C-alpha cells in the first residue's frame, strides 16, 4: 500500500478520535470510488490508499504500533479489517454509492414547472393559475394500494423494515428488500382503480402567487404539491421556476433597467425635453444642451423592485445622437454652410482626437 502517512492520507490530526477518522474515510471513499470515477485512472489507487489508512487507524492495536514504529511495526500483521469496524463503514459507503435500501414507503417525487413571464409581470407581481399533471393518492384506497376491505400485510422477508443486510466476508451491504422493494409491506389484494400502486394520474389546477421582482431562474416552492408518496407517505414539492422574456425596449441587469434613447442632433446641440417609457408609465427626460452621443442618464427608482424587499432599481437611459437621412438638396446646402461656420471650439472632441492622431504619426 502507499507509504504516505496515514493521517496525511485521511487529512486528520494525529490526535483525531474514531468518529473523525471514520468521517474522513467515508468522505474519501465516496469521492474516489472507482464506480463513481470511471474516467479517472487515479481514482482506484486513491480509494485503496484511503482503505489502507483507515484499516490501520480504525484498529486500536494497529494504530498504537503505527504511531510508535510506523509501517515497519505493522509488517507481518496482514491487511484485513480489525476491530475498528472496517466492514461496517464500507458497507455504509457502498450503500450510499449504489443507492442502498430505503426503509418504508418512499416520499413523493418533486416536480418542476417552467413559467414564462413578461418583464412587466415580473416587475409588478401577479397570480397565475397553472395546470399540473401528477400522480396523487388514489381516492378509492386512500393511497394504500389495497382493495377496499383489505390491508397491506407486513413483508415476511424484511419483517417490515424494507431493508435486508447481506454479508460477504467482511463486507456488510444493506440494500432494499427484493420482496417488497423497500416498502416493508406486500399487497395481496390490490385496488382495482390504481392496481395496487396507491397513486393515480390527475391534473390539478393551482394558483401561484408570483412576487414582484422575480428574475429568470428564481424558484417558488409549493410544499406538498408534487407527486403523491407511496402508501400514504408525504407528497413531494412543486418548484415553479420563472423565465423572463426578452423585452423590446429594456434590458434587465438585476434590479436595474437599461435602454437606448435616439435623439436628433439639434436636440443634442440645443437641449430639450422628451417623453420616454418606463415600466411605471411615461417619464420626462431633460436633455441638456451640448449632449454627446453615448451619455447615460440615471432615473432613480424607475427599475425593478427587489424580490427580497431591498428597494427598487434604477433606469439608465443611454442617448444616441441620430444622423439625419434622406436630406434634400436645400438641407444639404444648409448643413454645409453650418459646418463651414464651425471652428475648432465647436468640435472639441474632434479637434482633440486629430491632435492625438497627429502626435501618434509624428512619433
pLDDT mean over 82-97? 46
Taking residue 279's Cβ as centre, other Cβ atoms within 10 Å add up to 18
Answer yes or no: do 317 and 332 share one domain: yes
Domain boundary among 229, 244, 259: 244
Q: Where are the alpha helices (DSSP H) in 17-83?
A: 18-32, 43-57, 60-69
In a domain, 180, yes or no: yes
Q: Read out DSSP for 95-112?
A: HHHH-----SSPPPPPEE
CA distance 66 to 73: 6
Enclosing H/E stretch for 285: strand 281-287
Answer yes or no: do 180 and 230 share one domain: yes
Query: Residue 165's domain is classified under what CATH number?
Result: 2.10.230.10
Answer yes or no: do 349 and 306 share one domain: yes
| Closest among 71, 69, 43, 34 to 56, alpha carbons compared | 71
Domain boundary among 45, 71, 98: 98
| Closest among 153, 149, 132 to 140, alpha carbons compared | 149
Answer yes or no: do 214 and 258 share one domain: no
Domain boundary among 38, 69, 98: 98
pLDDT attached to residue 26: 86
Number of domains the chain contains:
3
Answer yes or no: do 41 and 136 share one domain: no
Q: Could you tell me the pTM of the whole model?
A: 0.59
In a domain, 103, yes or no: no
| Closest among 101, 196, 71 to 63, alpha carbons compared | 71
To the nearest whole number, what is the mean pLDDT of the chain? Answer: 84
- Among 29-33, 152-156, 178-182, 346-350, the minimum mean pLDDT is found in 346-350
pLDDT attached to residue 81: 40
Answer yes or no: do 232 and 120 share one domain: yes
Answer yes or no: do 268 and 206 share one domain: no
Query: Residue 64's domain is classified under what CATH number?
Result: 1.10.287.110
User: The domain containing residue 17 runs over which residues?
Assistant: 6-98
Judge whether residue 247 has pLDDT over 60: yes
In a domain, 105, yes or no: no
Judge whether residue 213 has pLDDT over 80: yes
Query: Residue 260's domain is classified under what CATH number?
Result: 2.60.260.20
In a domain, 308, yes or no: yes
In a domain, 1, yes or no: no
pLDDT attached to residue 92: 52
Q: Give the model's confidence band at 343: pLDDT under 50 very low, under 70 low, under 90 confident, else very high.
A: low
Answer yes or no: do 155 and 62 share one domain: no
In a domain, 148, yes or no: yes
Answer yes or no: do 240 and 262 share one domain: no
In a domain, 337, yes or no: yes
Cell numbers 486528520: residue: 12
Answer yes or no: do 240 and 263 share one domain: no
Which burial class, exposed, middle or buried, applies to 215 when counting CB atoms under 10 A from its CB (0-12, 13-18, 19+)? Answer: middle
Residues 6+ apart with CB under 8 A from 338: none
Judge whether residue 35 has pLDDT over 70: no
Q: What is the pLDDT of residues 131-176, one digit of tens each?
A: 999 988 888 888 888 888 888 888 888 877 778 877 655 556 777 8
In a domain, 106, yes or no: no
Answer yes or no: do 168 and 287 share one domain: no
Answer yes or no: do 154 and 219 share one domain: yes
Amino acid at each position: 500500500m502507499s507509504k504516505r502517512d496515514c493521517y496525511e492520507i485521511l487529512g486528520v490530526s494525529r490526535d483525531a478520535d474514531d468518529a473523525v477518522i471514520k468521517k474522513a474515510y467515508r468522505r474519501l471513499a465516496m469521492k474516489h470510488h472507482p464506480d463513481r470515477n470511471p474516467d479517472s485512472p487515479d481514482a482506484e489507487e486513491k480509494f485503496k490508499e484511503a482503505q489502507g489508512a483507515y484499516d490501520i487507524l480504525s484498529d486500536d492495536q494497529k494504530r498504537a504500533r503505527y504511531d510508535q514504529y510506523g509501517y515497519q511495526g505493522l509488517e507481518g500483521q496482514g491487511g484485513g479489517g480489525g476491530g475498528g469496524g472496517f466492514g461496517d463503514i464500507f458497507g455504509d459507503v457502498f450503500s450510499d454509492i449504489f443507492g442502498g435500501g430505503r426503509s418504508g414507503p418512499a416520499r413523493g417525487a418533486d416536480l418542476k414547472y417552467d413559467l414564462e413571464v413578461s418583464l412587466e409581470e415580473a416587475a409588478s407581481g401577479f397570480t397565475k393559475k397553472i395546470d399540473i399533471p401528477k400522480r396523487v393518492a388514489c381516492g378509492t384506497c386512500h393511497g394504500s394500494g389495497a382493495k377496499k376491505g383489505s390491508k397491506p400485510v407486513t413483508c415476511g422477508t424484511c419483517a417490515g423494515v424494507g431493508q435486508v443486510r447481506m454479508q460477504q466476508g467482511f463486507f456488510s451491504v444493506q440494500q432494499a428488500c427484493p420482496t417488497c422493494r423497500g416498502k416493508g409491506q406486500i399487497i395481496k389484494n390490490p385496488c382495482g382503480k390504481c392496481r395496487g400502486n396507491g397513486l393515480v394520474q390527475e391534473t390539478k389546477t393551482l394558483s401561484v402567487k408570483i412576487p414582484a421582482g422575480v428574475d429568470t431562474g428564481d424558484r417558488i416552492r409549493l410544499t406538498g404539491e408534487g407527486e403523491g408518496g407511496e402508501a400514504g407517505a408525504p407528497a413531494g414539492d412543486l418548484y415553479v421556476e420563472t423565465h423572463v422574456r426578452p423585452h423590446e425596449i429594456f434590458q434587465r441587469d438585476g434590479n436595474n433597467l437599461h435602454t437606448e434613447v435616439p435623439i436628433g442632433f439639434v436636440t443634442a446641440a440645443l437641449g430639450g425635453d422628451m417623453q420616454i417609457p418606463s415600466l411605471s408609465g411615461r417619464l420626462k427626460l431633460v436633455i441638456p444642451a451640448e449632449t454627446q452621443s453615448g451619455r447615460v442618464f440615471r432615473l432613480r427608482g424607475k427599475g425593478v423592485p427587489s424580490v427580497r424587499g431591498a428597494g427598487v432599481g434604477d433606469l439608465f437611459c443611454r442617448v444616441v445622437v441620430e444622423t439625419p437621412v434622406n436630406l434634400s438638396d436645400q438641407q444639404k446646402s444648409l448643413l454645409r454652410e453650418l459646418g463651414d461656420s464651425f471652428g475648432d471650439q465647436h468640435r472639441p472632441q474632434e479637434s482633440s482626437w486629430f491632435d492625438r492622431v497627429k502626435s501618434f504619426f509624428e512619433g
